[in-house]
Amino acid sequence: MNPDEGIGGRSASSPFPTPPSDRRERPDAIVIGSGHNGLIAAAYLAKAGKKVLVLERREVIGGATVTEEFWPGYKLSTCSYVCSLLLPEVIKDLELEKHGYDVRPLDPQYFTPFPDGRYMTSFLDGEKTKAEIRKFSKRDAENYDSYWKMWDRILARMRPLMRQRTPTGSELEAAFDGLDGEEDWRRLTKASVAELLDEFFESEEVKAPLSVGGVIGTNAGPRDPGTAYIKFHHILGGVGGHQSAWGYVRGGMGMVAESIAAAAREAGAEILTDAEVEKIEVGEDGEARAVTLRDGRSFEADTIISNADPHRTFLGMVGEESLLESFAESVKSTRTEGSVVKVLLGLGELPDFSAEPGKEVGPHHVGAIVINPSIDYLQAAWEDAKSGRPSERPFMEGYIQSATESGLAPPGKHTMSLFCQYAPYELADGTWNERRDGIGARIIETFAEYAPNLPGAIEHIEVLGPPDIEARVGISGGNIFHGEMTPDRMFGGRPAPGFAGYESPIRNLYLCGAGVWPGGAVFGAAGRNCAMEVLAGGRGTF
């Protein structure tokens, strides 16, 4: 390599100079963004012997997978909050446990209090869960195993397809061939989560907590077709040998990013923070050749990989002038408005539930706390959002990780994270700056119907609506999946209708984030799959 072609200098033919103070060896690949998928792609490429430079816009790495100290002594997982889907291959290949990754399953998995004082609890032990279900319906307890047998069959068909480039029609047809294949495909891609649950269960109390996985992060209600696919996505993983279980990462979700970053650095990757990419430079030949930062620095590489969402990547950093009109219009058609509110709390005491009294740590404090008494309740929350209104009675999942480990809150105090739906990115009345506090107050009021002491226990509060998530972690519209994940926006519809794959129409520019197959959450498949495609030479050849 000619030393004059290093990133810090300038070759005679290079149009992208950088200041001499940034002189370093020219990388083979640049990764834009240090979210978990970007870090995974960087680590795989570095382990394969590539020189990799990761550029992160914030002062901390992790993107939406980050632990932050919001108030002195209180550490919370800002956006993502629990882990299940992270690919076992990624954990093994990158030796994440050696680098500090430690996840333990929640048990109970969830606690759902109801307005009448009863409650439903789900355990890692299926027999204990069925005993809980019998409180509401003996028939439903009998059908519980059949329900999971159905999902096990669909998971077996789909799992191999999640570890490769976007599956073709023939690959999907082969996966769903044989006994029950046609019905499994219908359930997966056409059914609503409510319809699916109605096939197996009669009790609203049993269906209520199971339904929420069908709408997480989604602009849809439980009765909308396609939400069964969202449910499928959320049961793909597992923790500690427990299928579909979720767990806490010790130290918060930031430890996911930190462990991957440690593996990437060990393999030789370099990670720069406070390095926001403003422009992906595209030559007249249609190839991505360099990136320019907001502070004026430029970096060249043979391959550029964006962990940003498709809107931010193509309509922002590339610019429409460098895109095919058809592709630009397709990207614009993807819906990016988020529907999630995160409420982060510092508590002086634990919630004291009417259904299960007590302020000392109990089983109901250590897993997910699901506030959703029925499918009708969840549907009504969505109907509000469809009209541009925050849900009058929001659904929420609460997590008190400080009840399971020390060091996340001051002695005698606790943290709680509330993941809430729905709240539109664009409000029909007023702005987020005008209404943020009121929306947060309504969420707290709703939770207090089940734990009356909560308002008085709050010592600190932070409310993050979709525009706040967008501003904080750079996700267009605050959409946690980089765009809707209903079936019409998956498979050949991801990252945009008619344009599937990791390599974009801009040569040498790849996407590795949640906006490409197989979608979002702390999954890692997109980052791994993208790296495999880059190493195989692109165009879906791995």
Give the H/E segment covering residue 255: helix 254-266
The CB density around residue 411, as the number of other CB atoms within 10 Å, is: 6
Mean pLDDT of 114-121: 97
Mean pLDDT of 301-329: 96
Q: How many domains does the chain have?
A: 3
Are the CB atoms for 119 and 356 separated by under 8 Å? yes
Q: Is the pLDDT of residue 4 over 70?
A: no
User: Any residues with CB less than 8 A from the CB of 521 and at least 6 apart, and which?
Assistant: 80, 85, 233, 234, 480, 481, 514
Place of tokens 């967008």: 470
Do 45 and 149 lie in one domain? The reply is no
* pLDDT at 537 (0 to 100): 86
Tell which residue, 113, 111, 144, 110, has the closest CA to residue 127.
144
Give the H/E segment covering residue 104: strand 103-105
The CB density around residue 107, as the number of other CB atoms within 10 Å, is: 18
Do 354 and 433 lie in one domain? The reply is yes
* pLDDT at 25 (0 to 100): 76
Q: Which residues of 131-158 are buried (b: 16+ CB within 10 A; e: fewer)?
A: ebbeebbeebbebbeebbebbebbbebb
* CA distance linking residue 284 with residue 227, whole number of Å: 43
* pLDDT at 24 (0 to 100): 59
Do 299 and 351 lie in one domain? The reply is no
* pLDDT at 489 (0 to 100): 93
Do 378 and 325 lie in one domain? The reply is no
Q: Is the pLDDT of residue 476 over 50?
A: yes
Are the CB atoms for 227 and 397 separated by under 8 Å? no
Q: Is the pLDDT of residue 541 over 90?
A: no
Place of tokens 């590339």: 318
Tell which residue, 355, 349, 291, 344, has the closest CA to residue 506.
291
Domain boundary at 236, 271, 304, which?
Answer: 236
Do 135 and 45 lie in one domain? The reply is no
Place of tokens 């999630």: 340
* pLDDT at 542 (0 to 100): 54
Do 456 and 348 lie in one domain? The reply is yes
Q: Is the pLDDT of residue 22 over 60?
A: no
CA dist list (Å): 517 to 43, 283, 330, 390, 539: 19, 27, 16, 30, 14
Domain boundary at 464, 490, 525, which?
Answer: 464
* CA distance linking residue 236 with residue 155, whole number of Å: 7
Q: Is the pLDDT of residue 462 over 90?
A: yes
For residues 9, 10, 15, 18, the Cα torsion angle rounded to the nearest 10 degrees is: 10
Are the CB atoms for 271 and 34 separated by under 8 Å? yes
Q: Is the pLDDT of residue 34 over 80?
A: yes
User: Any residues with CB less than 8 A from the CB of 98 and at least 6 apart, and which?
Assistant: none
Do 131 and 197 lie in one domain? The reply is yes
* CA distance linking residue 347 with residue 190, whole number of Å: 42
Question: Does residue 39 lie in a domain region?
Answer: yes
User: Any residues with CB less than 8 A from the CB of 12 and at least 6 apart, and which?
Assistant: 4
* pLDDT at 540 (0 to 100): 52
Model-level pTM?
Answer: 0.93
Write the DSSP symbol of residue 306: E
| Residue 362 buriedness (CB in 10 A; 0-12 / 13-18 / 19+) | middle
Helix (H, G, I), strand (E, B) or coil at 419: strand
Which tokens belong to 485?
């994940």
Question: Does residue 110 lie in a domain region?
Answer: no
Place of tokens 């519209």: 477
Question: Does residue 44 lie in a domain region?
Answer: yes
Do 282 and 388 lie in one domain? The reply is no
Residue 525 sits in a domain whose CATH number is 3.50.50.60
Its domain, for residue 431, covers: 340-422+424-464
* pLDDT at 7 (0 to 100): 26
Question: Does residue 520 lie in a domain region?
Answer: yes
Q: Is the pLDDT of residue 32 over 90?
A: yes
* CA distance linking residue 347 with residue 454, whole number of Å: 8
Q: Is the pLDDT of residue 375 over 60?
A: yes
Q: Which pLDDT band holds residue 259 (cuts at 50, 70, 90)? A: very high
| Residue 229 buriedness (CB in 10 A; 0-12 / 13-18 / 19+) | buried
Do 304 and 376 lie in one domain? The reply is no
Question: Does residue 529 lie in a domain region?
Answer: yes
The CB density around residue 337, as the number of other CB atoms within 10 Å, is: 18
Do 129 and 219 lie in one domain? The reply is yes
SS3 per-residue string spanning 46-83 = HHCCCCEEEECCCCCCECCCCEEEEECCEEEECCCCCE
Tell which residue, 78, 81, 29, 18, has the closest CA to residue 52.
29
Task: Please state which of the ranges 20-29, 191-200, 304-313 shows the lowest mean pLDDT.
Answer: 20-29
CA dist list (Å): 498 to 283, 492, 493, 505: 24, 6, 6, 11
Tell which residue, 109, 110, 119, has the closest CA to residue 355.
119
Q: Is the pLDDT of residue 5 over 60?
A: no
Whether the ω angle into residue 455 lies within 30 degrees of 0, i.e. cis, is no
Tens of pLDDT, residue by residue over 401-431, are 999 999 999 999 999 999 999 999 999 999 9
Do 225 and 278 lie in one domain? The reply is no
Question: Does residue 299 lie in a domain region?
Answer: yes
Domain boundary at 464, 494, 516, which?
Answer: 464
Q: What residue type is assigned to position 183 of the chain?
A: E
The fraction of the chain above a pLDDT of 70, given in percent, is: 95
Tell which residue, 426, 354, 386, 406, has the closest CA to residue 111.
354
Tens of pLDDT, residue by residue over 348-361, are 999 999 999 999 99
Q: Is the pLDDT of residue 68 over 60?
A: yes
Task: Please state which of the ranges 20-24, 46-50, 143-147, 493-497 shows the lowest mean pLDDT.
Answer: 20-24
* CA distance linking residue 478 with residue 482, whole number of Å: 8
Over the chain, what is the mean pLDDT?
A: 93
* pLDDT at 10 (0 to 100): 28
Q: Is the pLDDT of residue 390 over 80?
A: yes
User: Any residues with CB less than 8 A from the CB of 179 and at least 6 apart, and which?
Assistant: none
Mean pLDDT of 157-178: 95
* pLDDT at 523 (0 to 100): 96
* pLDDT at 538 (0 to 100): 72
Question: Does residue 248 lie in a domain region?
Answer: no
Give the H/E segment covering residue 36: helix 36-47
Half-sphere exposure for 245 (CA within 13 Å, toward CB)? 22
Do 285 and 192 lie in one domain? The reply is no
Question: Does residue 357 lie in a domain region?
Answer: yes
Label the pairing between strands 499-500 and 277-282: unpaired
* pLDDT at 299 (0 to 100): 97
Which tokens belong to 223?
């009765």
Residue 445 sits in a domain whose CATH number is 3.30.519
* pLDDT at 14 (0 to 100): 35
